[in-house]
Structure 1
Amino acid sequence: MGQVVLITGGTSGIGLSLAESFLNEGADVVVCGRSRTGLDRFDRAHPKALAVQADVTVPLARAALLDAVTERFGRLDVLVNNAGTFVERDFAGNDDATVALDQEVALNLTAPIHLTGEVVRRWPALDAIVFVTSGFALVSPTRAPTYGAVKAGLHGFADGLRRQLAPHGTHVLEVLPPTTDTPMNADAIGPKLPPAEVAEATLKALRQRRPMALPGQTKLLPTMLRIAPHTLGRMVAKL
């Protein structure tokens, strides 16, 4: 019997590539998203999977999502916290840089924490929890400092949670992709990693039960932070 995998934000970008990779490995996959159009498109392409419309920042929607997983499969083995948003904010400019800040923090940070807690309470024998953060969790981007802040927060949560759940056998994996070719980064300039490569690195790290997956150029980040932090800072200043 394959694993049951829930992926938030699973109808496009990295989430979609993860869903397709898990399906190819024989898993039963549940995705959620806010866009009915995206969910219908996913349904047509992957009729054996379950697509649920849910805003993970809303408590009742999260509960309904987990009820749908229970009704269809009776269990959950892997939770992938992938849903997120990238918001540019210029605190040196004349505009209000904190417009809709609460929504950004909710989607990128507090919602995955809440969902993780709710999942662990329902399924304490979970095999794995995955957090898709970003290379910007380690070095914050100049044009989006709050994005760096919330991803750094999720990085810290994953780190502590990993130690808490280790005695229970639950593997906690953090995935730190570089700028990836997704709808969220459609306007970004410079190189973009294909989302399929992020998915491949994620599944490999899950199989090897590693704490982190560092696809693409993010594999260099830990070393550069140790030996050349100022150079790295100058590089990120251009992002």
Structure 2
Amino acid sequence: MQTTGNTILITGGGSGIGRALAEAFHRHGNQVIISGRRRQTLDEVTSANPGMAALTVDMTDADSIKAFAEEAVRAHPGINVVIHNAGIMKQETLTEAPDYLAAAEETIATNLLGPIRLTAALLPHLLNQENPAILTVSSGLAFVPMAATPTYSATKAAIHSYSMGLRRQLVETPVRVIEIAPPYVQTTLLGEHQANDPTAMPLKDFIDEVMEILTTQPNAEEVIVERCKPLRYAAESGNMDKMFEIVSGLRH
């Protein structure tokens, strides 16, 4: 994809990978619009990055997404790239059914239905833009699930499949579809402990490698950093069972 001169809408841009991507693209000379639920958090990011804009949205709510897409295009008609980054990750104990069900449904609404709904709302606009692109953020767990987060892993596997289908259906259009699959990264996705976990990839290192791939491999359909390759290619290498046990903490 073109990495400069875009108008980029990033969901979940208030923290973690979303904020780091927003700031990286901002530094590369793009107009960036971040979104999330909490206005205060978004304002903190835009204050630290003059020129960046922000809009609120509830990615679990279909009406909110529709109104958000309309507002975004009205306020920023040059939008030609959307990055579906918003997501939640919660551990589940399935034997405690049905107590975990609300969290599972929220995960599906945020991680899977949210990107599908927003793509549907924005695609007619993107089809008429120059250098348009849709970037999805899946996970290494799309390829090797973690037993403690089955719904999260399932939504990321679904995002991978959705990205493949969307890419094929749009092959005759100018819209590029690119999937970014992060490994275990130092963010607060699972809590503060993750941000300081030495076994997780430093966030800056992850973003630097992502931006390098996007810049040097403009035709890349998947962005897989080195740390994620053992997960992405576990099936191809015959290591699926081994990696599943490692990821799920059953083997060291």
Structure 1 and Structure 2 fold alike (TM over 0.5)? yes
Gaps of 5+ in 2: none
Would the aligned equivalents of 2:57 and 2:65 in 1 still touch at CA under 8 Å? yes
Partner residue in 2 for 1:180: 185
Residue 232 of structure 1 aligns to which amino acid in structure 2? M
Which whole-Å CA distance do the structure 2 matches of 1:57 and 1:79 have between them? 17
Which whole-Å CA distance do the structure 1 matches of 2:94 and 2:159 have between them? 22
1:198 corresponds, among 206, 221, 227, to 206
Residue 209 of structure 1 aligns to which amino acid in structure 2? N
Query: Which of 82-91 and 195-204 deviates more?
Result: 195-204
User: Is the alpha carbon distance of 1:161 and 1:94 closer, same or farther for their aligned partners in structure 2, counting shifts above 3 Å?
Assistant: closer
Residue 228 of structure 2 aligns to which amino acid in structure 1? T
Kindly report which structure 2 residues correspond to 1:123-134, keeping only aligned pairs within 5 A, or say none. Answer: 123-125=126-128, 127-134=132-139
The answer to whether the aligner puts 1:221 opposite 2:231 as a matched pair is yes
Which whole-Å CA distance do the structure 1 matches of 2:76 and 2:98 have between them? 48
User: Is the alpha carbon distance of 1:63 and 1:47 closer, same or farther for their aligned partners in structure 2, counting shifts above 3 Å?
Assistant: farther
The answer to whether the aligner puts 1:159 opposite 2:164 as a matched pair is yes
The answer to whether the aligner puts 1:231 opposite 2:231 as a matched pair is no
User: Is the alpha carbon distance of 1:25 and 1:56 closer, same or farther for their aligned partners in structure 2, counting shifts above 3 Å?
Assistant: same
Which whole-Å CA distance do the structure 1 matches of 2:61 and 2:102 have between them? 20
Runs of 4+ deviating beyond 6 Å: none
Q: CA RMSD in A?
A: 2.0
1:5-47 deviation digits (Å, cap 9, x = unpaired) = 0000001100011001111110000000111221121121123
1:201-221 deviation digits (Å, cap 9, x = unpaired) = 333343422111112421222
User: Is the alpha carbon distance of 1:44 and 1:118 closer, same or farther for their aligned partners in structure 2, counting shifts above 3 Å?
Assistant: same
Gaps of 5+ in 1: none
Residue 121 of structure 2 aligns to which amino acid in structure 1? E
How far off its partner does 1:90 sit?
A: 1.0
Residue 150 of structure 2 aligns to which amino acid in structure 1? P
TM-score by length of 2: 0.87
Partner residue in 2 for 1:212: 222
Residue aligned with 2:88, SS? coil
How far off its partner does 1:94 sit?
A: 7.1
Which whole-Å CA distance do the structure 1 matches of 2:239 and 2:39 have between them? 45
Which whole-Å CA distance do the structure 1 matches of 2:174 and 2:212 have between them? 18
Residue 211 of structure 2 aligns to which amino acid in structure 1? L
1:100-120 deviation digits (Å, cap 9, x = unpaired) = 322111001001011011110
User: Is the alpha carbon distance of 1:85 and 1:123 closer, same or farther for their aligned partners in structure 2, counting shifts above 3 Å?
Assistant: same
Identical residues among aligned pairs (%): 30
Would the aligned equivalents of 2:141 and 2:231 in 1 still touch at CA under 8 Å? no
